[in-house]
Every structure is written in structure tokens, then in C-alpha cells.
Amino acid sequence: MVAMTVHEFSHGWVAYKLGDTTAKYSGRLTLNPMAHIDPVWTFLIPLFLFISTNGQFIFGAAKPVLINYWNLKNPKRDIIWVGAAGPAANFLLAALLSALLKLIPQAAILSFILANLIVINVVLGVFNLIPIPPLDGSRILTGLLPEELANRYSMIEPFGFILLIALLWTGVLNHIIWPLVTSILALLGVRA
């Protein structure tokens, strides 16, 4: 909940700073987790996956912050910043928590909680940078691509979630995500 809340808040905050008030007026510019919970994606889907896969495959999500890209000062450029804000916030939180973790005795229960929160933030940040819609990496890529290629790329969005689930379910994404996660955790001095 902490990682998802920081992630979604950051999208809304950056969009707000760049001219879009949608998140503010929909009550999403808050660090209150209740504003970011989606009953199906935050609770039911992870519970179903936990039960059906014996805890080996769990996936969940917060309610995405709505952004009206046309309200942004420079939509083509600003979509990159809005997309990058969530993963960047997760990496920043992981770095801050890893600094705090070094000050706490390793046997303390708080060190266990902090270490897990660091791992969760790094996994969430790396996972969301994958350039498959609706993930944040797709927003970043859309902003970087020339207009014609960006328009073609956006045509996969209706199929993005199916593609993403297939890649997760088959384990293909594990070969991309885990090497990056373990490298970042090593930089932070945390073991997965």
C-alpha cells in the first residue's frame, strides 16, 4: 500500500505541477492509501492469484491516477515526466529507506519490514518501466517516439494488458525484471 500510494500520488503531483488539475479535483493528490485503493485490483485479483498459484504468482495494482494529457503545458514532453514520476518516486523511497535501514540493528523486526518495503518499491519501479501499455514505460516511450511511431505504438494499448499478463504468467518478464531488481538492490546494499 505504501509503495502504490507514493507511486500514484507522484503521477498526480507531477501532472498537477505541469498543468493538469484532474488528480487534484478527483481527490488523488494525497498520501492517504484509501484514495488509491481499487477493490478488484488491490484486493481481489492478488487474493485470487495467491490462492490459485499457491503464492507463487501475485500481481495487484492501485487505482490509476487519471491524467488529461491535453491539459499539460507540453503534452508530448510532459507525458514523459508524468510517466517517469511513479517509478522515480519508488526508487527514491527505496533509497531513503535503505539509508534508514543501515541505522537499525539487523535483528529488529523493523529492519525486516524496511527491507521488504525496499524490495517492493524497487520491483514496482522496475516493473512499471516496462514499455507495455498501460505501464508507465509505455507513457515514457510514447513521449520519446516521433509522432507517427507514437500513434502506431498506441494501437497496442487495447492488447497491452493481455500481453503483460501472458509475459508475467509464462515467466518471461522474470528474466528482465529480476536482474534489474537485484542490481538496484545491490547498489542500495539490500538483499532480495
Determine what percent of the chain falls in helix, strand and coil, rounding each to the nearest 5: 70, 0, 30
| 8 is an active site residue | yes
Q: Which tens digit of pLDDT belongs to each residue from 19-78?
A: 999 999 999 999 999 999 998 888 888 888 778 877 766 777 899 999 999 999 999 999
CB 93 within 8 A of CB 3: yes
Give residue 57's pLDDT: 64
Give residue 1's pLDDT: 87
Number of other CB atoms surrounding residue 37 within 10 Å? 15
Q: Report cis status (omega within 30 of 0) of the bond before 134.
A: yes
**Which listed residue (8, 147, 148, 157) is catalytic?**
8
Q: Which tens digit of pLDDT belongs to each residue from 126-177?
A: 999 999 998 999 999 999 999 999 999 999 999 998 998 888 878 888 898 9
Instruction: Determine whether 70 is exposed, middle or buried from the number of CB atoms within 10 Å of its CB (0-12, 13-18, 19+).
Output: exposed
